[in-house]
Structure 1
Amino acid sequence: MPEPLHLLVVDDDTGVLDLLRRYFTGQGFTVSTAADGAGMHTVLARQPVDLVLLDLGLPGEDGLELTRQLRRNWDGALIILTGRGESVDRVVGLELGADDYVTKPFELRELLARVRSVLRRSAPTAGNPGKQDEATFRFADYCLDPLGRTLRNGHGDAIALTTGEFELLRVFVEHPNRVLSRDDLMGRTHGRGASSFDRAIDVQIARLRRKIESDAANPELIKSVRGAGYLFAARVQTVR
């Protein structure tokens, strides 16, 4: 029987910590909690964690800086929680590598759906017999392997992608030379009905361009189509 997935909730509100601990434990997760960045790093150093729920509004600490620290030293799934009205924090959080965001106050069922969606997208598929024959994709000087969830350049070097970046690139290689709207991209990466705002996809596109384009300011692979969305202009070869 597989081990329960492990969530780490980082929030200074003890009521929120207790609520989320009880709720997610009841949903079959193992849950750890921390009230600040130091506690977060202590838990991560002590045991494997599958996903961090990080409140950006920690008093005396910059939640965005903690997001930056996580992405420098840890490659698990990350959802940011924010009660701030401005969308700028969500945008910056996504730019720094968060996989998703949830605005406070939130519905527990929506948060659970977001957690499950991110974990599903970040989970390796090697143990799924139905995925064993999944194709790899070659484009430009890269090879994308959905089974191993890796992107490698022509030298064989792995290029680190967040869950969101990986799923976005996967959608592009599966639909080359086709204009995809922001809504279409959000639906294909987060599931139909996912709530979003246009800047969320734009932010992930910008991050992905910085990793695969030779000149992110003048992209040749992921092209913007004014008023319509984005088009993946590379020639894609499917290898089974």
Structure 2
Amino acid sequence: MVVEDERPLATVMATYLERGGFDVTIVYDGIDAVESARRVDPDVVVLDLGLPRLDGIEVCRRLRTFSDAYVVMLTARADEVDTLVGLSVGADDYITKPFSPRELIARIQAMLRRPRTSSELTAVPTAPRHRVFGPLTIDPAGREVWVDDVPIALTRTEFDVLATLSERPNVVFSRAQLISAVWGPSWIGDEHLVDVHIGHLRRKLGDDATRGVYVRTVRGVGYRMGAGQ
């Protein structure tokens, strides 16, 4: 679903996406975007930040109450605050205007090709179903997370980051390694996107960024899991 109030740009994006084999629904304002997403149930939403009636931030926030679609945020404002706010409500990626339609398609294809952790791909009967890190429990197969037995709602990207780190808890992952594992090796963009998702993941888990109970920062290297059983 393409949500863009600049109709010529929306048409261009839709044309390129259709040539790439996607079924495309175009929506021109925020209210219609939420209503259409309920009807269409899209796999990916390309969402402009500046929309009439309801802005992209609020659209993304409402989408996350009923949809786990990948969200790519479009913004004409390149300052970091807009980017961080957009991603904090559940966007998976962002592109700053002007951009190449081919780059947009490459980003979407990379998201849809995301590899899962090996335990999700090849089930081993003797392997434990849950990964436990103190009060944190992760179910990779069911894609569920609990802290002190309270379920935590994560976006697909947040879960994929957590699943990647928890699969090898003694390994420190660099930003580039997390990008390759979660977004895919063909992903193009700013690696600091990882930091934004880590920050939002920590907030949802009630983690302390300064001490890193669950997701620890290894300065100059990257991130690793902590609080193992």
TM-score scaled by length of structure 2: 0.83
Aligned to 2:144: 150
Alignment equivalent of 1:204, drawn from 197, 205, 211: 197
Aligned to 1:164: 157
Offset at residue 194 of structure 1 (A): 3.0
- For residues 86-165 of structure 1, what are the structure 2 equivalents within 5 Å? 86-121=79-114, 131-133=122-124, 136-140=129-133, 141-153=135-147, 155=149, 157-165=150-158
Equivalent-residue separation in structure 2 for 1:88 and 1:186 (angstroms): 22
Contact 2:161 2:182 (8 Å CA) reproduced: yes
Aligned to 1:4: none
CA distance change for structure 1 residues 196 and 91 in 2, over 3 Å: closer, same or farther? farther
- For residues 3-152 of structure 1, what are the structure 2 equivalents within 5 Å? 8-59=1-52, 61-121=54-114, 131-133=122-124, 136-140=129-133, 141-152=135-146
Offset at residue 153 of structure 1 (A): 4.5
> Over residues 43-81 of structure 1, what are the superposed CA-to-partner deviations in whole Å (9 max), with x where a residue is unaligned?
123232222110112256432222222223433221111
CA distance change for structure 1 residues 67 and 13 in 2, over 3 Å: closer, same or farther? same
Q: Residue 185 of structure 2 aligns to a residue in which SS?
A: coil
Contact 1:82 1:104 (8 Å CA) reproduced: yes
Structure 2 letter corresponding to 1:17: A
Contact 1:10 1:36 (8 Å CA) reproduced: yes
Q: Residue 180 of structure 1 aligns to a residue in which SS?
A: coil
1:173 aligns with 2:166: yes
> Over residues 187-210 of structure 1, what are the superposed CA-to-partner deviations in whole Å (9 max), with x where a residue is unaligned?
222123533435422221111112
Aligned to 1:234: 227
Aligned to 2:177: 184
Equivalent-residue separation in structure 2 for 1:148 and 1:116 (angstroms): 24
Equivalent-residue separation in structure 2 for 1:137 and 1:109 (angstroms): 40
Equivalent-residue separation in structure 1 for 2:192 and 2:90 (angstroms): 14
How many residues get paired? 224
CA distance change for structure 1 residues 73 and 181 in 2, over 3 Å: closer, same or farther? same
Range moving further from structure 2, 139-148 or 108-117 = 139-148
CA distance change for structure 1 residues 214 and 112 in 2, over 3 Å: closer, same or farther? closer
Structure 2 letter corresponding to 1:11: E
TM-score scaled by length of structure 1: 0.80
Equivalent-residue separation in structure 1 for 2:148 and 2:114 (angstroms): 25
Residue identity over aligned pairs, in percent, reads: 38
Q: Residue 216 of structure 2 aligns to a residue in which SS?
A: strand
Aligned to 1:3: none
CA distance change for structure 1 residues 172 and 181 in 2, over 3 Å: closer, same or farther? same
Q: Residue 98 of structure 1 aligns to a residue in which SS?
A: coil
Structure 2 letter corresponding to 1:147: A
Contact 2:3 2:48 (8 Å CA) reproduced: yes
Q: What stretches of structure 1 of length at least 5 have no aligned partner?
A: 1-7
- Give the aligned CA root-mean-square deviation in angstroms: 2.8
Equivalent-residue separation in structure 2 for 1:144 and 1:116 (angstroms): 27
Contact 2:75 2:96 (8 Å CA) reproduced: yes
Structure 2 letter corresponding to 1:40: A
